[in-house]
Amino acid sequence: MREHLLFTYKFNLGHLESLVKDLTDEQMVQQPHGVVNHPAWTLCHLASASNHTGVALGLESTFPAEWEEAGKTGGEPSGDASKYPSKDALLAELKKQHERVTEAVAAADPAEFAKEHPDEGTRKYFPTLGDFVDYLLSAHEANHIGQIAAWRRAMGLKSDAG
């Protein structure tokens, strides 16, 4: 079953790339009509979330510490482009994190996914490591893909650049 999840995770990455391919770094932080979660915050947030997934799977964190504030869960996205890495840097980090997590999921013993999530606060929502991984690789990314598509419409762009 993990191969289906990894297919979705790879598909999500391609969709994210297509949604931002025509955007400039300046557009990446615009917040039209009160749409707060812009693409720069979203890509940073998703790269951070993938890193956290990798850590939960036993990998060392490789996410740039200086980017943590820019994409943190519950953070307030800023319209100031200087607070975010470039689009190219964000996409490169997201790809790197996807590759690490994909390898970790593919190599993991299936019994690992049945284990209780190690963090008590997270365990309230995701009782097992598998619940956490499945959500972050699929529904979490899909939610943010939809936000970028809606953001594009608010910007007066087609909902998909592809």
Residue 90: inside a domain, yes or no? yes
Q: How far apart are CA 148 and CA 125, in angstroms?
A: 25
Say how many domains are in the chain. Answer: 1
Q: How far apart are CA 117 and CA 125, in angstroms?
A: 10
Residue 159: inside a domain, yes or no? no
Q: What is the pLDDT of the chain when averaged over all its residues?
A: 95
Residue 160: inside a domain, yes or no? no
The DSSP 8-state label assigned to residue 137 in this structure reads: I
Residue 161: inside a domain, yes or no? no
Q: What is the pLDDT of residue 162?
A: 63
CATH code for position 85: 1.20.120.450
The pLDDT tens digits of the residues spanning 88-131 come to 999 999 999 999 999 999 999 999 999 999 899 999 999 999 99
Q: How far apart are CA 50 and CA 63, in angstroms?
A: 9
Structural domain including 144 reads 2-154
Q: How far apart are CA 160 and CA 115, in angstroms?
A: 38
Given a cut of 70, the residues of the chain with pLDDT beneath it are 1, 161-162
The whole-model pTM stands at 0.96
Residue 145: inside a domain, yes or no? yes
Residue 96: inside a domain, yes or no? yes
Residue 162: inside a domain, yes or no? no
Q: What is the pLDDT of residue 75?
A: 87
